[in-house]
């Protein structure tokens, strides 16, 4: 693995763990951190021994938002040319599942980063919000779009227009996150979930992730057609033959990712 300045990386079983590591700035997201994050995700995505990834911060802060010092004097054109927001979009190109393990503050760009992941596991201390309105701007990396799809229009309106925050239990009730655990367990449970997913058939996992994300971008009719075609295509894989034979033979399958 490469050495990074703003993140820590580790391989645990079949899971790639990435820890945001700017504690003095509450893991504020700048382009350097995001660039390293996307580089490490890509590296794990290309590693056949890795089946899923987990992104986390520390117990007090996942990420408190974007690093405002990088933006305070920027013009519209400078922001359009900045690689900051496009870096968020790169996570959509990651084929393997990515889990956000969140504790403490998950605000602004931090919440947008968590929502860009495929699943969100939270500690009881987590707080979710989009406070950009206090800075005279709006969320720019998916906050108005992904948050609304997750929690619904009226809750998203209050969070974005008036800086409402959600506790972990509220976030769970509004379907923003998957599960809530005590602070001492949230990362362990995130790694367990990632490991369970990593043990599944790789091609099927990646195809399922792609189709679920695809469903937010197309009509139901188009999505159903694309799902059927993806389903049919998996019958050309070794894993489909192995999975079905293993089921009939009452044994655990041995996936090849092919």
Annotated catalytic residue 156: no
What lies within 8 Å, CB to CB, of 130 at 6+ separation is 107, 108, 111, 112, 139, 143, 147, 159, 160, 163
- Judging by beta carbons within 10 Å of its beta carbon (0-12, 13-18, 19+), is residue 205 exposed, middle or buried? buried
User: Is-contact 166 91, C-beta < 8 A?
Assistant: no
Q: Which residue among the candidates 132, 142, 156, 168 is catalytic per the annotation?
A: 132
Q: Which residue among the candidates 16, 51, 109, 143 is catalytic per the annotation?
A: 109
Rounded Cα gap, residues 117 and 55, in angstroms: 9
Annotated catalytic residue 227: no
Annotated catalytic residue 10: no
From residue 250, alpha-carbon distances to 200, 237, 243, 244 in Å are: 16, 20, 10, 10
Annotated catalytic residue 204: no
Q: How far apart are the first and last CA of the chain?
A: 25
Rounded Cα gap, residues 256 and 237, in angstroms: 9
Q: Which residue among the candidates 64, 112, 156, 243 is catalytic per the annotation?
A: 112
Q: What tokens appear for 181 in the block?
A: 């655990």
Strand 127-129 and strand 105-107: the pairing is parallel
Q: Which residue among the candidates 52, 66, 101, 171 is catalytic per the annotation?
A: 66
CA angle 67, 73, 76 (to 5 degrees): 95
User: Is-contact 231 203, C-beta < 8 A?
Assistant: no
Rounded Cα gap, residues 116 and 252, in angstroms: 32
Which sequence positions are flagged as catalytic? 66, 109, 112, 132
């Amino acid at each position: 693995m490469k050495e990074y300045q703003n993140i820590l990386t580790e391989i645990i079983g079949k899971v790639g763990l990435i820890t945001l590591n700017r504690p003095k700035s509450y893991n504020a997201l700048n382009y350097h951190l995001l660039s390293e994050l996307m580089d490490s995700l890509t590296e794990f995505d290309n590693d056949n021994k890795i089946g899923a990834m987990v992104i986390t911060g520390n117990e007090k802060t996942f990420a408190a938002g974007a690093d405002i010092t990088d933006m305070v004097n920027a013009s519209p054109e400078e922001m359009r040319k900045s690689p900051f927001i496009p870096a968020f979009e790169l996570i959509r190109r990651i084929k393997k599942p990515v889990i956000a393990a969140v504790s403490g503050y998950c605000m602004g760009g931090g919440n947008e980063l968590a929502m860009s992941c495929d699943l969100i596991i939270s500690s009881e201390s987590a707080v979710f919000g989009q406070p950009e309105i206090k800075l005279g701007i709006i969320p720019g990396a998916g906050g108005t779009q992904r948050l609304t799809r997750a929690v619904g229009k009226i809750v998203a309106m209050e969070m974005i227009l008036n800086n409402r925050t959600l506790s972990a239990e509220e976030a769970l009730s509004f379907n923003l996150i998957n599960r809530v655990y005590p602070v001492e367990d949230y990362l362990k449970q995130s790694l367990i979930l990632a490991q369970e997913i990593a043990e599944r058939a790789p091609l099927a996992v990646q195809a399922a992730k792609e189709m679920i994300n695809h469903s937010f971008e197309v009509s139901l009719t188009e999505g159903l057609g694309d799902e059927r075609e993806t389903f049919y295509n998996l019958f050309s894989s070794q894993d489909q033959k192995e999975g079905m034979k293993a089921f009939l033979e009452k044994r655990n399958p041995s996936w090849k990712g092919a």
